[in-house]
Structure 1
Amino acid sequence: MKEIHRTVVTPDRIGAEMIGIPAGGDVEEDLRLESVSEGVLVSGTVSGDTQGQCSRCLEPLTGTVSVYLTELFAYPDSETDQTSDEDDVERIENEKIDLEQTVIDAVATELPLSPLCREDCPGLCPECGTRLADAEPEHGHDLIDPRWAKLADRVSDQGTQESES
């Protein structure tokens, strides 16, 4: 058994479209490698600082993600290697274990697809784009349906004519 505690700088962004560990961000790995009959069992935690934006109001978000992972890396020519599809199990290649895809998959599944700055985030005004959390309580727009706009002009013209007479 071997324990690894290290910090790795990620070359590319890890995560979903709205939130993730940015490129150049630190990923902390606290892992345990154990030799088992069919390969090497890697288990432990992976964590990193996240950056993104709220899916409703587009405000910047920061946080951390921490994932516990367990993955078997099969020895070449082992029973697991020979009986498993290529995508079903990771493999040891040239006596090395490549954790990159395992970490990417684990972090991506842990992050929310639609992150929120707070649970009750009201989002943006659909008319003017103002952040509703910062808007006045009486924020609103008097909009006329374009299909009725001509009629509204006629009604207001008639009201003006009646008040003049």
Structure 2
Amino acid sequence: MTFGVKDLGRSPGSMRTVEEHVPAPKDFGVALIGVQEGSEMELDLRFESVHEGILVSGTANVEVTGECGRCLEPLRYEHEVDVQELFFYSDSESLSGEDEELHRVESDSVALEPVLRDAVVTSLPFQPVCRDDCKGLCSECGARLNDDPDHHHEILDPRWSALAGLAGNAAENDAAPKSESDEREES
């Protein structure tokens, strides 16, 4: 995604706008959410010549796909991201040897892919959700709690499991018919 800026020259104040639809490159996202490779990105950008280089500003509109971090439901929505980056001329007085991570104008063009990737990926939610009140999945059986809000499992503490057997025996003893010898012992 390289755009030529030769027509702007080195005349501060000269400007050009660009409205383009370009395919999204690879790796525009994180594990649960991102922009699918090859999907259309709508760019509305302004290229301005300034004293130090070329200032690129505007918006990128992308379609985000992924899944909810709580219930794993698929997500799909439009997302608009603001873009603003200064591309320095190689011989700019503002540059020093330690500014290697700054973006530069090279061969009268600017490479926007890293700038767009940074803008889009950093604006994506860390834990995407299908809705703010998503209840997620049941930790026991994996059922969607949004579909059945009253869903629950009775979980017995394993420390009480031996007593559960005694409670069952006591109920059986109470329900069993009493013999004559049992009745004499109770008296």
- Shared fold by TM > 0.5? yes
Residue 145 of structure 2 is matched in structure 1 by 132
Which letter maps to 2:86? L
102, 107, 124: which one pairs with 1:111?
124
Alignment of 1:53 with 2:67, yes or no, is: yes
User: 1:81, 1:91 within 8 Å by CA — same for their partners in 2?
Assistant: no
6, 21, 24: which one pairs with 2:38?
24
168, 171, 175: which one pairs with 1:159?
171
Residue 90 of structure 1 is matched in structure 2 by 103
Which letter maps to 2:19? H
CA distance in 2, matches of 1:13, 1:59: 21
RMSD: 1.7
79, 82, 93: which one pairs with 1:65?
79
CA distance in 2, matches of 1:160, 1:82: 88
The size of the alignment, in residue pairs, is 163
TM-score (norm 1): 0.89
Deviation per CA, 1:55-94: give whole Å up to 9, x if none: 111111110111111100000121122365212x211223
Question: Unaligned stretches of 5+ in structure 2?
Answer: 1-14, 178-187
CA distance in 2, matches of 1:139, 1:38: 62
Alignment of 1:76 with 2:120, yes or no, is: no
Deviation at 1:33, TM superposition (A): 0.7
Q: What's the secondary structure of 2:151's corresponding residue?
A: coil
Residue 7 of structure 2 is matched in structure 1 by none
Residue 58 of structure 2 is matched in structure 1 by 44
Alignment of 1:147 with 2:159, yes or no, is: yes
Q: Write out the 4+ residue segments of structure 1 that deviate beyond 4 Å after TM superposition.
A: none
TM-score (norm 2): 0.80
User: 1:65, 1:110 within 8 Å by CA — same for their partners in 2?
Assistant: no
